[in-house]
Structure 1
Amino acid sequence: MSLKVGDVIPNFSAIDHHGNVFESDTVIGKKPTVIYFYPKDDTRVCTEQACSFRDQYEDFKALGAEVIGISGDSLQSHIAFANKHQLPFILLSDSDKKIRKTFGVPNDYLGLIPGRATYVADATGVIQLIFDSTSGKIHIEKALEILKTM
């Protein structure tokens, strides 16, 4: 079952790139939240997307929003990726793909590669936008557009 616009993001937990347990209810339902799922650390499009979120992170913060990136990569991979590109937002390791399945993020390329999707929730945790595209940079534009209307 996939989450849809109008659904409330369910609670979940995962290990963040600092090695801490992240509980979603510490952010979701308290402030606007952008959750983006991406296939793999340090690949070309994923790096472009992460660096675009990084470069516009202050714009997200100015709108009161938090950004969370999620992939199936390991904690060690996330640490290296975040440090290499100075990523200021939360990266979560979803190695068992449980969060991806909860959200219903589809796979790309004949089901072989984990999909790229962005979910924007308002301060109450209700999804206002779901954007699914293999293009990384446009996710940032779409997320900022919807946040400005909230």
Structure 2
Amino acid sequence: MRRFLSLFATLVIAGTAQAADLAVGDPAPVFALPDQDGETRRLEDYRGQWLVLYFYPKDDTPGCTTEACSFRDNINRLIAQDAAVLGVSMDSVASHADFAREYELPFPLLADPDGEVVERYGALSDFMVVKFAKRQTFIIDPEGNIATIYRKVDPDEHVKDVLDDLKALRGN
């Protein structure tokens, strides 16, 4: 049992060490993922504007719904800051389509069922049997570099923090 716990702790630490690899100022890892409509979205599609890339564990769960609806309710304020919003989880395109339709989400939800992009951003929780995206957000600047990283996110307050940081980053 002790050996198992030691191995488990090593795997968890290794998974979180990767999360520390990305830092503010680094180029954002590239991605090309389908959204809820099957349209492929790429990082380069957002050059020239700010991008709020948020990772979340699971469609239609309480915290994820709260966070998505908060982004929805503040989308005009985000657009006023020249920011686009993309949500990413390991759910399927079909799951995203249902979630976006049910809550009238006006922004793309990207499907990363294999977790490749989630892992590149250091947002993968991997418990060997179960994998899911951690609730983390990255603000990416118009040149494609990471401007802000949120490793701990409170779904109720997060969008307010994002808006405040976007204002500060943009100097207004």
Query: TM above 0.5, one fold?
Result: yes
1:49-69 CA-partner distances (Å, limit 9, x unpaired): 000000000000011100000
Q: Which residue of 1 aligns with 2:105?
A: 87
Larger-Rg structure = 2
Contact in 1 for aligned 2:87/2:110 (Cα 8 Å): yes
CA distance 1:6–1:71, shift in 2 (3 Å): same
Query: Any unmatched runs of 5+ in structure 1?
Result: none
Normalising by structure 2, we get a TM-score of 0.80
Q: Give the 5 Å matches for 1:17-56.
A: 17-27=36-46, 29-56=47-74
Aligned counterparts of 2:126 and 2:161: Cα–Cα separation in 1: 20
Contact in 2 for aligned 1:4/1:127 (Cα 8 Å): yes
Q: Give the 5 Å matches for 1:98-109.
A: 98-107=116-125
Q: Which residue of 2 aligns with 1:130?
A: 149
Aligned residues: 148
Q: Which residue of 1 aligns with 2:31?
A: 12
Contact in 2 for aligned 1:131/1:142 (Cα 8 Å): no
Amino-acid identity (%): 37
Query: Any unmatched runs of 5+ in structure 2?
Result: 1-17
Shift of 1:45: 0.4
Normalising by structure 1, we get a TM-score of 0.91
**1:57 pairs with 2:57:** no
Aligned counterparts of 2:150 and 2:48: Cα–Cα separation in 1: 22
Output the aligned Cα RMSD.
1.8
Shift of 1:114: 3.0
CA distance 1:134–1:124, shift in 2 (3 Å): closer
CA distance 1:5–1:49, shift in 2 (3 Å): same
